[in-house]
């Protein structure tokens, strides 16, 4: 391929190449975060259900709990 044409193609596609590079970094970061999640972390909410009565609202953020309770 002609060098001038190659330079033009690369210049025209620079935004796409930059987006692809950013996306590949995000995917790598996501894969890394997922790999750090242990099986216990995934199953933790369900263990309480098996162990006995479970108040599902206790796992919600405090402002949401207050809305549910009418505070």
Per-residue pLDDT tens digits for 11-36:
666 666 777 787 778 888 778 877 77
Q: Is 55 or 7 the better-scoring residue by pLDDT?
A: 7
Dihedral, 48, 51, 53, 54 alpha carbons, nearest 10: 0
What's residue 25's pLDDT? 81
Which of 29, 8, 48, 60 minimizes the C-alpha distance to 69?
A: 60
Q: Give the start-to-end residue ranges of the domains of the chain.
A: 1-36, 38-71
Confidence (pLDDT) at 21? 80
The reported pTM is 0.30
Q: Round to whole Å and give the CA distance between 13 and 71.
A: 55
- What band does 56 get if pLDDT is binned at 50, 70 and 90? low
Q: Does residue 53 register a pLDDT over 50?
A: yes
């Amino acid at each position: 391929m002609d060098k001038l044409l190659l330079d033009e193609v690369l210049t025209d596609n620079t935004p796409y190449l930059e987006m692809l590079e950013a996306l590949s970094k995000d995917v790598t970061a996501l894969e890394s975060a997922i790999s750090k999640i242990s099986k216990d972390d995934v199953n933790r909410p369900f263990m309480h259900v098996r162990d006995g009565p479970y108040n599902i609202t206790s796992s919600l953020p405090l402002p949401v709990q207050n809305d549910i309770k009418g505070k």
